[in-house]
Chain A
């Protein structure tokens, strides 16, 4: 090897190392940007009294705020309400969407494209645009100030979303799967429940989790259709926590409440990470 070549390869190696280091620093910056706020919320939730104003980055383990939250019936009640609302909304939309996705993904019929478009169009409806009609509907059903109103109203965004994602999953199965079943004269119901559904576990789990998160996080309907504290869901309950005066906003308890209602969900999201990403992008990229 000539000296010049050796030099240039040394330079090349140095350049590569510098580039790698630069990228690593960028990666760290992005990590700090995305993670630090949540970390800081955890740290703050574990401090009470004047310790809350400390700027030390090292957490302490003062559980005062958490103990107080667990003894607050309004807060624990709001968690139960949110679980019921998000859980029921998710189950109903999954059931409805699996059937619709079977029709849209596996069967041939006239008007299929139109139906897909109609379902997709609903997902651009602004919530405020259906508000007065929904208010009337909720009253007709006698659901005003009951969590049932939210289970009903949330279908407007969970149904289009779950139908869309499950249809794109449904299309991926090879045609041969149900051919044998059709030859045997199986009904469509049997094909869906016995042949396809057993294969859809992961798809249902990730789609269901996404729908659950959408319903769990919703704010506008929850603020409008629920009047009394004991029927509130979590986001509104946190939004309405207030101090004794405007200048004494209780950031410690609010941070603790925020951690309590997000940590279990985050654990699930991180566990299902890969599937969530594919579920989120499946609808968008192919659409």
Chain B
């Protein structure tokens, strides 16, 4: 036991010091996060425009109802939800598989652990451009490979075919973000004590059953946190869709829709209302996932 400082003045000093040390970070976040967010909420009830946001009238909920009536907004919502669900599921499965592989005693796994950081650390623009080039309809190496294998006769225009382009966006996103999943799940795997597996092995429990009833339940918290981070990131995705397909309606996300209103059409009021929607959709998803994680933790703890 460490003796607590007995005198009250020392404690008061510590509290005072704590707030002084915390102040710069708090001021920075108030300035660049909470204040702009509050202004966005505020503008969403006005008809302000970008070229002179100081002149505006309050128009109540009009911006929100206008967006709710816009078919393009709902298409963007659909795209974003579909993108989030499919890509997070694929990333989780792939990440789980690769993490299990890397957890084996294998020659070369150190190299792979380093290699897996590459897709994660390069900018999204670069990843998008590299894949765009590899998927090029005439000169792309993927189409050349498919033709060489006799799978297709002509190159497929991956990014120009309307029905394929969202699939391509998901595919590239999976490539970019699987490393993050792998690292988080791998860290979770390393917290599982070796003895549990050894005991099961001695009892002759088959490997699939060991995975299903030991590894997976013990990984749940790690996977849950990883899914939370990835889902929130996917819901607000902007750059990948924008770089690959611009304002294509097939890949437009809610962030792209909101930025269009805000910057391209100069409608600060309408754009702010769309941004406010984005904020609350993401907050809702966060609350739901965190709630599920909490529930999970309390039921497993109560066993």
Contacts and interface: CB of A to CB of B under 8 A. Distances in A.
A66 interface: no
A21 B5 CA distance: 62
A135 interface: yes
Interface stretch (A3-11, A69-77, A275-283): A275-283
Contacts of A122: 29, 33-34
Interface in A14-56: 20, 23-24, 26-27, 30-31, 33-35, 37-38, 40-41, 44, 52-53, 55
Given A38-B118, A99-B25, A137-B31, A129 B130 contact: no
Nearest to B25: A100
Interface string B243-283: 10000000000110011001100001001100110110011
Interface in B42-91: 43, 50, 53
Contacts of A126: 235-236, 255, 275, 278-279, 282
A276 to B, nearest CB: 7
B122 A38 contact: yes
A119 B278 contact: no
A96 interface: yes
A168 interface: no
Contacts of B29: 118-119, 122, 155-156, 159-160
Nearest to B243: A239
Contacts of B262: 128, 131-132, 135
B151 interface: no
B108 A27 contact: yes
B109 interface: yes
A266 B32 contact: no
Q: How large is the interface on A (under 10, 10 to 19, 20 to 34, 35 or more residues)?
A: 35 or more
Interface string B8-50: 0001001101110110111011011111111110010000001
Interface string B134-152: 1010110100100000000
B25 A107 contact: no
B32 A155 contact: yes
Interface string A226-244: 0000000011101100000
A285 interface: yes
Contacts of B258: 128, 131
B40 A273 contact: no
A124 B232 contact: yes
Nearest to A262: B122
Given A109-B18, A258-B130, A277 B40 contact: no
A270 B114 contact: yes
B93 to A, nearest CB: 14
B216 interface: no
B211 interface: no
B116 interface: yes
A152 interface: yes
Contact of A128 (B21, B188, B278, B286): B278
Nearest to B123: A217
A211 B18 CA distance: 24
**7 shortest interchain CB distances as A-B pairs:** A133-B36, A133-B39, A126-B236, A100-B25, A129-B279, A130-B36, A217-B123
Interface of B: 2, 5, 11, 14-15, 17-19, 21-22, 24-26, 28-29, 31-40, 43, 50, 53, 98, 101, 104, 106-109, 111-119, 121-127, 129-134, 136, 138-139, 141, 144, 175, 179-180, 183-184, 187-188, 191, 222, 225-226, 229, 232, 235-236, 238-239, 242-243, 254-255, 258-259, 262-263, 268, 271-272, 275-276, 278-279, 282-283, 286
Interface of A: 20, 23-24, 26-27, 30-31, 33-35, 37-38, 40-41, 44, 52-53, 55, 95-97, 99-100, 102-104, 107-110, 112, 115, 118-119, 122, 124-137, 152-153, 155-156, 159-160, 163, 175, 179, 182, 188, 192, 213, 216-217, 219-220, 223-224, 234-236, 238-239, 251, 254-255, 258, 261-262, 265-266, 269-270, 273, 276-277, 280-281, 284-285, 287
13 contacts: A23-B101, A37-B119, A37-B134, A37-B175, A103-B21, A107-B21, A125-B279, A126-B236, A127-B255, A220-B259, A254-B133, A255-B129, A284-B187
